[in-house]
A and B are shown apart, each in its own frame.
Chain A
C-alpha cells in the first residue's frame, strides 16, 4: 500500500511541515469571551486553523500541550485585558504566538451583544494577525 502524505495533521488539510494553525480563544463567561469562542469556531469552520482546548493547556494535558508546542502558528483570542488565553499559553512556556483582544476592537466588556457581525470582526482580525506572523520555531 502506498504511503500516505507526510505528515498528516489531524487538524486541517495542510502539511504539518508547513503551518498547522491552532487557535485558542479564552472562551470566557463574558460577552467578549463568548465572542472570542465564536470567532475561534468560525475560523475553524472556514479552514484558517483549528480551535483547540485552552483548558487542556491550563491542565497540562500532555497531548494538547505538546500539540500546541508543535504548531506552526498559534492564535490566541483574548476577550478582555485579563488576557487569559495569552497568559495560559505563556505559563505553559509558549510565547511565540499571535494575539487578538476583543475589547481592543471597539467592543466593551459587558456591553457587546454576541452577534455574527461582532464575531466576524474578531475573526477577520485573527486572520490578519495570522497572515502577518511567521512560522514558529519548533523543536
Chain B
C-alpha cells in the first residue's frame, strides 16, 4: 500500500494537492492511504521549507507547488 503524505498546514493549495493526489491514486487503481501532516515540526523533519509538499512512502517528491494529477501519477509509480 502506498503511503501518500500531504505536508501543509491547511492552506487552499494543500487542499488542492490532496484532491489531485487522491485523483491520481484512484486513477492508478492502487491501494493507498493519505495522511495529512499539518504539524510544522513534523514537516521540518522532512527537510521541507515550503508547503504544500507531497511525500510518497516517506520520500518527498514535490515542494511548494501543486502538480497535475497526471504529474502526480508519475511521482507515485
Contact = CB atoms under 8 A, between A and B. Distances in A.
Contacts of B73: none
B47 interface: yes
B40 interface: yes
Interface in A12-53: 16, 20, 22, 50, 52-53
Interface footprint category on B: 20 to 34
Interface of B: 8-15, 40, 43-44, 46-53, 55, 59-65
Given A7-B52, A70-B63, A61 B15 contact: no
Interface of A: 1, 3-11, 16, 20, 22, 50, 52-53, 56, 61-64, 66-67, 69-71, 138-139
A58 to B, nearest CB: 13
Contacts of A66: 48, 53, 60-64
Contacts of A11: 49-50
27 contacts: A1-B10, A4-B9, A6-B14, A7-B8, A7-B12, A7-B13, A7-B14, A7-B64, A8-B9, A9-B49, A9-B50, A10-B43, A10-B44, A11-B49, A11-B50, A20-B49, A22-B49, A52-B49, A53-B47, A62-B47, A62-B61, A63-B60, A66-B62, A67-B47, A67-B48, A67-B63, A70-B63
Interface of B is mostly: mixed
B50 A10 contact: yes
Interface of A is mostly: loop
A126 to B, nearest CB: 18
Nearest to A61: B47
B12 A56 contact: no
Most buried by B among A22, A50, A67: A67
Instruction: Report, nearest first, the 7 A-B pairs whose CB atoms are least far apart.
Output: A63-B47, A70-B64, A64-B47, A63-B60, A6-B11, A66-B63, A67-B49
Most buried by A among B14, B40, B44, B64: B64
